[in-house]
């Protein structure tokens, strides 16, 4: 069994525009089409049983429409939605309750896209509300393949956030900080036990050996498999993990068991 904790989809109309925009701005390879049907085809080819689909909401006004689409895209056979959330939206608790009542067990926030620092005390309302409901918070961590003036979500800020909120279960994407992995080792490996890491989009920047070394330092029991579909190929990302010099048990933890532990309790 394989669970992909980190995948993205768009409406059939928006997917070609989103992918064209990323290709133009970042100049990266995009193997997927970004639609629900293409993701299901990818899952069947790669042997992925469940993909957690993650919405994006740059502004508070985008949260509810994004969540409506992702709830409609939920598939009992494989597509499992997280919700979008913005730390500064007025109806934060109400939207979390709506998502939870619909069976959603996690939400996604993006510091650089939404313009917040993870250790800003104004975000405590979000963290407390997510923890009170027993939900999971997944956060983009580190840089992106684009020249931006600031990335907001840095490992030191996440470490301070986690220390203040030990009851919050948080998954930090891209092994805790894309292209900030020395800071991940410095600040996040000693962080609270409630901090997990996903492997989304690490293969374009880390060799298999480098990624394996970082996962060993973190501990395989805190790492979840993620691909960042459509920006990587799910089958290739499974091969990337399977090829690492890890034990069979460590690979099972990463590919499915850790995700089952925190999401499907």
pLDDT at residue number 177: 97
**Quick one: pLDDT at residue 265?**
63
Quick one: pLDDT at residue 148? 87
Contact criterion met (CB below 8 Å) for 201 and 178:
yes
Residue 50 near residue 78, CB atoms below 8 Å = yes
**Residue 253 neighbours by CB under 8 Å, 6+ apart:** 220, 221, 223
Which stretches within the chain are classed as H helix?
14-26, 36-46, 60-73, 92-101, 111-114, 124-132, 155-164, 181-183, 208-218, 234-242, 248-252, 258-263
Architecture of domain 3-263: Alpha-Beta Barrel (3.20)
Q: Are 109 and 87 in contact (CB under 8 A)?
A: yes
Per-residue pLDDT of the chain (265 residues; tens, 9 = 90+): 999 999 999 999 999 999 999 999 888 889 999 999 999 999 999 999 999 999 999 999 999 999 999 999 998 779 999 999 999 999 999 999 999 999 999 999 999 999 999 999 999 999 999 999 999 999 999 999 888 889 999 999 999 999 999 999 999 999 999 999 999 999 999 877 899 999 999 999 999 999 999 999 999 999 999 999 999 999 999 999 999 999 999 999 999 999 999 997 6
Residues contacting 210, CB < 8 A, separation 6+: none
pLDDT at 191: 75
Q: Which residues contact 186 (CB under 8 A, 6 or more apart)?
A: 155, 156
- Please enumerate in sequence order all residues whose Cβ is within 8 A of that of 198, keeping only pairs 6 or more positions apart, or say none: 5, 6, 138, 171, 172, 173, 174, 175, 223, 224, 225, 226
Q: Could you tell me the two tokens for 226?
A: 């993620």
pLDDT at 76: 77
């Amino acid at each position: 069994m394989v669970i992909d904790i980190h995948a993205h989809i768009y409406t059939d109309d928006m997917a070609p525009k989103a992918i064209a925009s990323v290709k133009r701005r970042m100049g990266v390879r995009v193997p997927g089409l970004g639609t629900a049907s293409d993701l299901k085809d990818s899952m069947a080819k790669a042997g992925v049983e469940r993909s957690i689909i993650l919405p994006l909401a740059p502004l508070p006004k985008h949260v509810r429409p994004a969540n409506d689409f992702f709830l409609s895209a939920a598939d009992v056979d494989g597509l499992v939605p997280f919700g979008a959330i913005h730390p500064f939206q007025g109806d934060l608790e109400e939207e979390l309750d709506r998502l939870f009542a619909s069976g959603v067990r996690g939400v996604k926030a993006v510091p650089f896209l939404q313009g917040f620092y993870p250790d800003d005390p104004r975000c405590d309302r979000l963290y407390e509300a997510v923890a009170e409901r027993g939900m999971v918070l997944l956060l983009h961590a580190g840089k992106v393949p684009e020249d931006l003036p600031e990335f907001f979500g840095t490992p030191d800020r996440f470490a301070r956030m986690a220390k203040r909120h030990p009851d919050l279960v948080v998954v930090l994407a891209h092994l805790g900080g894309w292209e900030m992995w020395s800071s991940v080792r410095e600040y996040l490996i000693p962080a609270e036990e409630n901090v997990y890491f996903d492997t989304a989009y690490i293969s374009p920047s880390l060799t298999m050996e480098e990624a394996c070394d970082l996962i060993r330092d973190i501990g395989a029991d805190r790492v979840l498999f993620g691909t960042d579909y459509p920006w990587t190929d799910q089958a290739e990302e499974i091969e990337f993990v399977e090829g690492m010099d890890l034990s069979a048990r460590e690979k099972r933890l990463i590919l499915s068991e850790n995700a089952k532990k925190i999401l499907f309790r």
